[in-house]
Chain A
């Protein structure tokens, strides 16, 4: 099983700041089958990034993903008020599919 470790657990930032979220895998994620999801309180998760760096339909370009192998990053270039949420990474290349524990981006 591929274990995904997200850091930090909580990120306290102000609107307009840059957010950098990390997702580290216990073994290589094949073909960069890594996705990022955003979840707000009381809502279902929403797909942001797939294949490590491809933005999903309708996702603003302030969201970007990078990385390969075992180290992946989600960057939000300038935080908007609606971006404060919990973010999860997921690998979907091998079974069992796994999610990271999440990073909460909160308003400082």
Chain B
């Protein structure tokens, strides 16, 4: 059974940093691209970032480019999101999602975690 478990969320002040983690199990992690998607309270889904199976292709939404860094450790079956210079508008539930294939593009998201909440406030 595929499981994606996010962690690392919490309350953080504007301008500070936070690192999210996603622990994956139930599938061969290094065969698949992975993504982060966020959802602000009461709002829709927003793609944040994605990474191909071997980290060779990485993409970011314009809203986080230059502030967030996605990475993965295939030996640990884990996905990460380093979030720097956080803003109030980054407040959201952050989901980890598994792509159905190895590339950054051309694959839909077939499994999602339950999310970890990030609140940016002073």
A residues near B (Cβ < 8 Å) are 1, 31, 33, 35, 37, 39, 44-47, 50-51, 56, 88, 90, 92-102
Stretch at the interface among B8-16, B22-30, B74-82, B102-110: B102-110
Whether the Cβ atoms of B60 and A44 lie closer than 8 Å is no
Judged by DSSP, the binding face of A is: loop
A14 to chain B minimum Cβ distance, whole angstroms, is 25
Given contacts A35-B108, A51-B108, A56-B110, could you give 13 more A-B pairs where the C-beta distance is less than 8 Å? A44-B115, A45-B109, A47-B108, A47-B109, A88-B44, A93-B105, A95-B104, A97-B47, A97-B59, A99-B45, A99-B47, A100-B44, A102-B44
Enumerate 17 A-B pairs (CB-CB under 8 Å) in ascending A order. Answer: A31-B106, A35-B108, A37-B45, A44-B112, A45-B37, A45-B45, A45-B109, A47-B108, A47-B109, A88-B44, A90-B47, A90-B108, A96-B60, A96-B62, A97-B50, A99-B46, A101-B44
Cβ contacts under 8 Å, A98 to chain B: 47
A89 to chain B minimum Cβ distance, whole angstroms, is 10
Given A45-B45, A88-B44, A101-B44, residue A93 in contact with residue B106 (CB < 8 A) = yes
CA distance A100 to B110 in the complex (A): 18
Whether the Cβ atoms of B47 and A96 lie closer than 8 Å is yes
Whether the Cβ atoms of A96 and B61 lie closer than 8 Å is yes
**Quick one: which of A1, A37, A56, A92 contacts B106, CB cutoff 8 A?**
A92
Whether the Cβ atoms of A50 and B100 lie closer than 8 Å is yes
B residues contacting the other copy or chain, number (CB 8 A): 24
Interface of chain B residues 58 through 113 with chain A (CB within 8 A)? 59-62, 95, 100, 104-110, 112-113
Q: Which of A1, A56, A97, A98 has the most CB of B within 10 A?
A: A97
CA distance A50 to B101 in the complex (A): 13
